[in-house]
Structure 1
Amino acid sequence: MSEVLSALDVINKDFKRSLRGYDPIEVDDFLDLVAESLHFYAEKCGEQERKIHNLERQLEDYRNLRESLQEALLMAQQSADEKIEAAKREAEAIVAEAKARAERMLEEASRALDRNKAEIERMKKLKISFVAEFRAVLNKYAEMIEAEMTDDES
């Protein structure tokens, strides 16, 4: 079937008259019915084509939206990954700084301990020296008192 008939083609179609032909009124009535059917289906077809066109447009919109959402999701994921990586680097820097600070504090405490130990050692030596000098002074006074007492007895 190479040619599609329209309702107007059916309405305007004329047939030759013959002696033993069909009843022209029945043929005209049937052609009117066929024309109405063709018109109805042509409108239905046009309506379906419009619906298809609208659905195709919506489908394209949804595809574009999907692509946009996928791009946004990808960008959000990349941003989140970058922020996580930056936070890890910052945490590592903070930990490294804290370790370095702790090392410095330990070194300072160790030096202070060494200074305190040296000071204690110096104080012990001073004490020993003071005790020895004090004993010497006491012995000297004891000898002086002893000498004084022996002089008084004689």
Structure 2
Amino acid sequence: MMLNPLNGLSFFKKDQAMRLNPDDILTKTFTRKVLGGYSSSEVADFLQSIAGELEEKSKEREELFNKLSEREASIREYRDREEILRNTIASAQKMADRIKQDAEKEARFILEDAKQKADIIVQDARDSLKTAYQDLSDLKRIHIQLKNTLKSVLQSHQDLLDQDPIHSLLPDSFQSKADSSLIEKKVHESLNKAVQSKESL
């Protein structure tokens, strides 16, 4: 807090009139006595000297008052500037706080939005991976089923190839007769070949 240098110096107030001024001294008259009075010339000289001194002091007082008035005006100006500066700093601080709060709020919103989007992406990735595993499991199961079916079909064809289709279609009695006729035929052919060999000799 700045102090007013004029405080306590009431005698410097311009509106406070001095009790005496040079004109009062110069125009002062004294009652003359017949006997035992002072020398009028000495009194006049002394009053003239006092008036000059008082006038000089009055001028000095006026100059000092003007300087103090200027100083007081400067102090008031500095106080006004200080008040303006304090208000400016307070306004800037409020604005900085508001900007900081808005920035923090925006940052929280961005982080929350990014977190939600990241959670959605992670959940979608998990669902996709789960679906891929399920599809792979289904493909393996289908592959095993097709493999077993193919093996069964191949085994069936192999069994058919291993069987005699003609004999399997003939009755048992017919098959026995056919075998006997075939044996007899083979025997006759062998005998004929043997006879022909002997005749050629």
Q: CA RMSD in A?
A: 2.4
Q: Which runs of 5+ in 1 are unaligned?
A: 149-154
Structure 2 partner of 1:25:
41
How is 1:4-153 mapped onto 2 (pairs within 5 angstroms)? Answer: 4-18=19-33, 19-144=35-160, 146-147=162-163
Query: Aligned partners of 1:143 and 1:27: how far apart in 2?
Result: 170
Query: Aligned partners of 1:32 and 1:50: how far apart in 2?
Result: 27
Bigger-Rg structure (1/2): 2
Between the aligned residues of both structures, percent identity stands at 27
Q: Which 10-residue stretch deviates more, 60-69 or 99-108? A: 60-69
How far 1:13 moved relative to its partner? 2.4
Q: TM-score, normalised by structure 2?
A: 0.65
Which amino acid in structure 1 is aligned with residue 82 of structure 2?
A: R
Query: Aligned partners of 1:3 and 1:128: how far apart in 2?
Result: 127
Which structure shows the bigger proportion of residues in helix conformation? 1
How far 1:44 moved relative to its partner? 1.1
Structure 1 SS opposite 2:20: coil
* 1:100-132 deviation per Cα after TM superposition (whole angstroms, max 9, x unaligned): 101111221121012111101111111101221
How far 1:136 moved relative to its partner? 2.2
Q: TM-score, normalised by structure 1?
A: 0.82
Query: Aligned partners of 2:18 and 2:90: how far apart in 1?
Result: 53
Question: Relative to structure 1, is the Cα distance of residues 60 and 3 closer, same or farther in structure 2, using a 3 angstrom cutoff?
Answer: closer
